[in-house]
Each structure stands twice: as structure tokens, then as C-alpha cells.
Amino acid sequence: MQKTQNDMQTSTLNNPTIRLSLATMMFPLALVLFEFSVYIGNDLVQPAMLAITKEFGVSSAWAPSSMSFYLLGGACVAWLVGPLSDRLGRKKVLLAGVVFFVITCLLILMTNNIESFLALRFVQGFGLSVIAAVGYAAIQETFEERDAIKVMALMANISLLAPLLGPVVGAFLIDHVSWHWGFIGIAILAFLSWFGLKAKMPEVKVNTPKQPLRYIWDDYKQVFKNKTFLALTFGLPMVAMPLMLWIALSPVMLVEELGLSSFEYGLAQFPVLGGLIVGNIVLIKLIDRLKLGTTVLIGLPLMLLGTLIVGLGLVWREYFLYTVIIGMTLVSFGEGISFSVLYRFALMSSNVSKGTVAAAVSVLMMFSFFIVIELVRIAYVHFHLWAYVLSCITLILLWFSFPLYSLKKVMQERQAKGEF
């Protein structure tokens, strides 16, 4: 039996979107605690990877693979998690995902070689898909458009404590105890978030017909036929990738290449990630004053300028540490004022139910992250800092092609409809 056109249309909420207030922020705060635990599951571990690879007796070239396999795990299940949440409910799937993530954090304590460690990092990455394909979709459905963007920016700022604290805590664990305690702490944080989500997450009712799971591919075909969706979605990793590469490669660049200590490496993260925090704050302040999308048109040229400043460090090597920190801080600021808006546009560009669309966004983003990080990791072995810098510049330049055209098209369509 073929699916009817109505079955493939957007799911409509039975309950209307709500205004942002202190009371309604309890759900995003519970969600961001889980998001924080998932993110620090990467940011605390990456600084420890030099010690972990040494413990397992393998090359430090494996260090970025911890992050790329984590992202790959998220990409491989997001396609199923989103549609499942359309059928079973966002809350049930999210709560189950939290429990699964806690279990994997404890299982990784038993690993004794790089193969089993990376396999469990892959499985741990399922937590990323639950956040991206279920949690973010629930935020977009629960709040009004601009409030949803504000909530995403606020969540980003809170979760950014992970990459700020992660390197410092990771360095402390390496120097004084063991990397194993990091995963125990992560499991405890995620476990606590389960109770907050259980109590505060609303049961968002969706009018999606209870179609069998074999119809999932029909939904995805409709999503992937949408050229605007594809352009905006592939634009997301182009915007986020320079900072992702920084997080993945900075332990090798700063500690091995430039000779910084673990503590100095942690301190170097503060201005870079501080730029992202400031960018999100600026976005929250400007979102009600400018046409939606304007901050992206401001942010991307700033990101390009930042990558070029990083490139100057290859000409004057003695200043590379300063140029990479200044340049990446500017890149992070540009991402902060751009990403949440681009995500909203990508999610709303398709009429298919939002769990499926969010899953499609998540799959494409995380596969892109995995592929690019692994390619740059391999290139870094041969070309060192050149591989990192040229990759960042290329990614931002690519954004000024079809993604920019699609963004301007969406903004023009919104203007024609009288939407601000």
C-alpha cells in the first residue's frame, strides 16, 4: 500500500507553541544538562587522547579518531531515532537514549586496546543523535520561532562550558588520577539529566499517522529531494567544521607541535570558545531587531577573515600560536551569530515531520564531520599545520556558493510573505 500525500506532510502539533519564560525554561535546562554531558564526553576525552594512545601503545595520530568515531556513531543511528520519536513520542525516545548513553560511559571503562575503545566511542555517539534528532526537534516544536532560536543559543552557551572545562579537567585527570574518572563523571551528569527531563519535558503531541517503520524511506526521499534543505544542511558543517577541526586537532597542534603543556593547552581554549559564547549572546540580543538571516550574512565574512588570519601564521611561524588563537576566536564568534539561525532554516525548509527532518540534518552533518575530520587527520600526518589551515579556509569559501544562494532565497521568500 502506498503512502498518501497527507501521510508525508508535516506533522502538526496538537498543542500550540509556547512563549519563553522562567517556567518554560526548565525543560531546555534539563536537556542542556544531557547535552553538556554528551559534549564533555568529547571535550574532556580529546585532551586525554595523547595519554590514552600512549597507554594502548599506538601512535598519537589516532587521537582525532576518538572524536570522529563518536560523530560517526551519532550519524549511523540518527536516521532511525528521529522517525521513531515521530511515532513513539519525543520524550520516550529521549529518556531511553539518556539511559543508553550512561551504560556506554560505564562500559568504556573496561577497554584495554584502541580497537575496543574506538568501538565503544562509536556506540557512545548514539547520544549525539538523540540530542540532535530528538531534543532539538522538541525545542523547535515547543517554542515560537524566535524564542526557539534564543533557546538554542542559550543552550549552546551553557553546553560550551564543556569545551571550556573539558581540557582543564582532562589535563587534571591525566596529571593526577586517570582518564577513567572522566567517563564516570559524565555518566553521573547524564543520569541526573534523566530525572529533569522526566519531570519537565512536555509531551509534544504530533499528528503524524502511525505508519510502519518501512515508510521511513519515503519520508527521507521527500526530504532529500528538497534542494533548499540540502544546501542549507550542508552549509551547517561548513560553518561548524573549522571549530570541530580545532577541537579534534588542537591537542596535537598545540602540545606536540608547539610544545604547550596540558594546562597551557586548556587555557588556549578559553578565548576561542569564548568567541562562540559572545557570538551566541550577540545573536540573542539582535534576533528581534534584524531580519532573520542577517546575522549569518554578517558572521560568514568574519569567519573567512578569521581563517585568513590563521593562515598568516604559516607565513610567520613564530607568531602561529597568536594568529591561530585570534583567528579561531573570530571564526567562533561568526559561528555563534550564524549557526542557530541556519539550523532553524534547514529544519523548517521541509514539510516532513520534524523528527525525520532533524534526523536527516543530523545524519548529513555528522557524516560530514566524520569524513572531513578523518581526511584532515590523514593529511595532517603529511602536511601538518598546512592541512588544518587550508581545510578551514576551503570550508568557509565553499559556503559562499550554493548555501549562500539558498539562504538569500529563503530570506526573500520570507520577505514576500511579510515575515520579519
- DSSP sequence for 84-105: HHHHH-HHHHHHHHHHHHHHHH
Confidence of residue 21 (pLDDT cuts 50, 70, 90): low
Q: How far is residue 30's CA from residue 28's CA, in Å, rounded to a whole number?
A: 5
Mean pLDDT across 276-304:
89
pLDDT exceeds cutoff 80 at 53? yes
Sign of CA dihedral 171, 28, 239, 291: negative
- What does the pLDDT average to over 17-39? 78
Going from N- to C-terminal start, the domains of the chain cover 22-204+212-410
- Residue 226 in contact with residue 349, Cβ under 8 Å? yes
Considering only residues 17 and 401, tell me which one the structure prediction assigns the higher pLDDT. Answer: 401
What is the structure's pLDDT at 112? 86
Q: Give the pLDDT score at 106.
A: 93
**106-135 residue pLDDT tens:** 999 898 898 999 999 999 988 878 887 788
Residue 305, all three cell numbers? 577573515
Q: Is the pLDDT of residue 390 over 90?
A: yes
Residue 420: predicted pLDDT: 60
pLDDT tens string 78-101? 778 877 887 788 888 899 999 999
Confidence of residue 158 (pLDDT cuts 50, 70, 90): confident
Residue 214 clears pLDDT 70, i.e. is over it = no
Average pLDDT of the residues in 344-350: 85
Least confident of 148-157, 263-272, 295-304, 311-320: 148-157
Where do we find the cell 532565497? 409
> Would you place residue 3 in the very low, low, confident or very high pLDDT band (cuts 50, 70, 90)?
very low
| 19, pLDDT greater than 80 | no
State what percent of residues in the chain have pLDDT above 70. 89
- Rounded mean pLDDT of 255-280? 84
The secondary structure element, H or E, covering residue 275 is helix 262-286
Give the pLDDT confidence score for residue 6 in this predicted structure: 40
Residue 335: predicted pLDDT: 93
Q: What fold characterizes domain 22-204+212-410?
A: Growth Hormone; Chain: A; (1.20.1250)
Mean pLDDT of the chain: 82
Residue 11 confidence (pLDDT): 40
Q: What is the mean pLDDT of residues 47-65?
A: 82
Which band of pLDDT confidence, cut at 50, 70 and 90, is reported for residue 13?
very low
pLDDT of residue 151: 81
The answer to whether 283 and 294 have CB atoms below 8 angstroms apart is no
Predicted model pTM: 0.73
3 state SS for 369-381:
HHHHHHHHHHHHH
CA distances from 414 to 293, 350, 410 (A): 10, 15, 6
Tell me the pLDDT band of 5, cut-offs 50, 70 and 90: very low
